[in-house]
Chains A and B, each alone.
Chain A
Amino acid sequence: MLACLRAESLTLEQLAACFRRMLLIREFEEVLGGLFTKNLLGGTSHFCIGQEACSVGVVGAARETDWLVSNHRGHGHLLARGLDPFRVMSELMGRETGYCGGRGGSQHMCAMDLCFLGTNGITGGGIPIGTGAAWALKYRELDDIAIVFFGDGASNQGTFHESLNMASLWKLPVLFVCENNGYGMSNPTAQSVATAKVADRAAAYSMPGTTVDGMDVVTVLEATAAMAERVRAGEGPALLELMTYRFCGHSKNDPRVYRTREEERDWGERDCLAVTARMLAERGLDDTAVQALRDTVVAEMEDVVERALAAPVGDRDHALGGVYA
Chain B
Amino acid sequence: MPNESRDVFYSKAVNEALDEELAHDPDVVLLGEDIGVYGGAFGVTRGLFEKYGPKRLQETPISENSFVGMAVGAAMMGLKPVVEIMFMDFIALALDQILNSAGKLHYMYNGQVTVPLVVRTPGGAKGGYGPSHSQMLSGLFVGVPGIKVVAPSDARQVKGLLKSAIRDPNPVIFIENKRLYPQRGVVPEGEYLLPLDRAVVTPGENVTVVAYSAMVPVCLALKEALAPRGISLEVVDLVSLQPLDRETIFASVRKTGRVVIVEEACVTGGVGAEVSALVAEHCLDVLEAPIRRVGAADVPIPSAIELEKAVLPSADGVLRAVRDVLEW
Contact = CB atoms under 8 A, between A and B. Distances in A.
Interface stretch (A72-80, A98-106, A182-190): A98-106
Given A103-B108, A136-B79, A323-B107, A122 B96 contact: yes
Given A162-B65, A166-B63, A137 B77 contact: yes
B72 A128 contact: yes
Interface string A306-324: 0000000000000000111
B101 interface: yes
A139 B69 contact: no
Interface stretch (B111-119, B177-185, B268-276, B286-294): B111-119
Contacts of B148: 324
B66 A139 contact: no
Interface string B159-203: 000000000011000000000000000000000000000000000
A16 interface: no
B72 A132 contact: yes
Given A117-B73, A128-B69, A132-B73, A162 B61 contact: yes
Interface string A98-120: 01110110001111100001100
Contact of B110 (A101, A134, A158): A101
B112 A139 contact: no
Given A125-B101, A163-B66, A112 B113 contact: yes
A135 interface: yes
Nearest to B66: A162
A243 B306 CA distance: 59
Given A111-B112, A117-B76, A129-B73, A322 B101 contact: no
A322 B112 contact: no
Contact of B71 (A101, A121, A132): A132
Contacts of B114: 325
Given A159-B66, A162-B65, A139 B74 contact: yes
A158 B94 CA distance: 11
Given A162-B61, A166-B61, A127 B109 contact: no
A139 B79 contact: yes
B144 to A, nearest CB: 11
Contacts of B58: 135, 170
A129 B101 contact: yes
Nearest first, the 6 A-B pairs at minimum CB distance are A132-B73, A128-B69, A132-B70, A162-B66, A162-B63, A136-B77
